[in-house]
Amino acid sequence: MSKPLIGLTTTRIAKASKTPKFGANEQYAKAISNAGGIPVLIPLNLSNDDVDDLTVHLDGILFTGGNDIDPRQYGNPSHRKVEGVDGDRDRIEIHLVRKIIPTGKPFLGICRGFQVINVALGGTLFEHLADQFPGNVRHDNHALPRNFLAHHVQIDPDSRISRIISTKQANVNSLHHQGVRNLAPELIPTGYAPDELIEAFELPGYAFGLAVQWHPEELQEDVLMRKLFEDFVNSCG
């Protein structure tokens, strides 16, 4: 039996070299490979038609983390803290979300991927949590190791993610300054930070359609986080 092909969304990489580059953090690819899948990078120079042609050959999509989505994609003005907007990435990922759901193919969103799925389905974001959602949890911990456990997430016991990781509370890292303001109507929240910011959601009635705000690919020493990738890849097989 052949291994499932998992598409990974990519980001433009800022380097001192003048040669343009795009790619994805190695940890995403490792987590997919270790779970039994074959990661396939989705480049940012594709037309929507090319994306459609590629999607036919993929068994699932991992929407990876990265820089901010243009607030105009969800009807909001820009914000002084919005950074790294890439029109090609926004276009490709929003198109991918809307394209893949009617096919029933599994998808997993992480951090920016969590946010872009929400936006593609009609939800909105806080552009900068420190200004717009002040609370007792620090969500932007980029100055700390990426596997630093910043807070816990309370998991809905009736959710798919709870069944996967077999717990109602998970300790997670936190590497984001934006978050879900209004959840898209099609989605249901399945995990909350202590300040009640949504940290996980899923698409009900779908074979595997869920997303998390934290970075499980950076927590692969935790068997629970490995199970998340294993269940995703198994659903793609």
Q: Note if 215 is an active site residue.
A: yes
Q: Which domains, from first to last, does the chain contain?
A: 5-236 (3.40.50.880)
CB-based contacts of 69: which residues, under 8 Å, 6+ apart?
85, 90, 112, 115, 116, 119, 125, 178
What is the spatial distance between Cα 109 and Cα 52, in angstroms, rounded to a whole number? 19
Q: Mind listing the pLDDT tens digit for each residue in 41-95? A: 999 999 999 999 999 999 999 999 999 999 999 999 989 999 999 999 999 999 9
Q: Is the dihedral of CA 216, 43, 54, 112 positive or negative?
A: positive
Residue 192 confidence (pLDDT) above 80: yes
Residue 101: DSSP 8-state: G
Residue with tokens 């990078």: 41
Q: Note if 218 is an active site residue.
A: no
128, 139, 151, 215: the catalytic one is: 215
Q: Note if 151 is an active site residue.
A: no
Q: What's this model's pTM, rounded to 2 decimal places?
A: 0.96
Alpha helices per DSSP H over the chain: 26-34, 48-57, 87-100, 112-120, 129-132, 160-165, 223-236
Structure tokens at 123: 């939800």
139, 217, 218, 236: the catalytic one is: 217
95, 111, 176, 218: the catalytic one is: 111
